[in-house]
Amino acid sequence: MKIKLAEALLRRKELQEKVDQLKPINQKELYEIKARRQNVMEGVDDLVAQVPKVSFNQITAAYDFHSRRLRMVDALIQQANWATELDVEDTVMADYVDTIVK
């Protein structure tokens, strides 16, 4: 499949955003408190339980999927970067020369 460099750059941006979203997720965010166990009266307790919203494996799989795709598209962009030559004027690459101080 052939794509334009601009499409690869957009895909890289999409994947980076997805990886950035998944990266900070920690164990605390994966659980929701459904109940709480507290001593209400003598012999009567209130129960606290944590229930997983999603499994840690789901988050890891999604992160790994997007990270791998990001590395692949980034490698393709870098390959195009090193293989492509641009025809520019000499002045584009010239360093600044201060005409006042010599």
Is 96 a domain residue? Answer: no
Is 100 a domain residue? Answer: no
Is 61 a domain residue? Answer: yes
Is 59 a domain residue? Answer: yes
Interatomic CA distance for residues 95 and 51, integer angstroms? 61
Q: Which tokens in the block code for residue 79?
A: 């390959």
pTM > 0.85: yes or no: no
Q: Which residues of 37-56 are buried (b: 16+ CB within 10 A; e: fewer)?
A: eeeeeeeeeeeeeeeeeeee
Summarised one tens digit per residue, pLDDT across range 57-91 is 888 899 999 999 999 999 999 999 899 888 878 77
Confidence of residue 37 (pLDDT cuts 50, 70, 90): low
Is 31 a domain residue? Answer: yes
Number of structural domains the chain divides into: 1
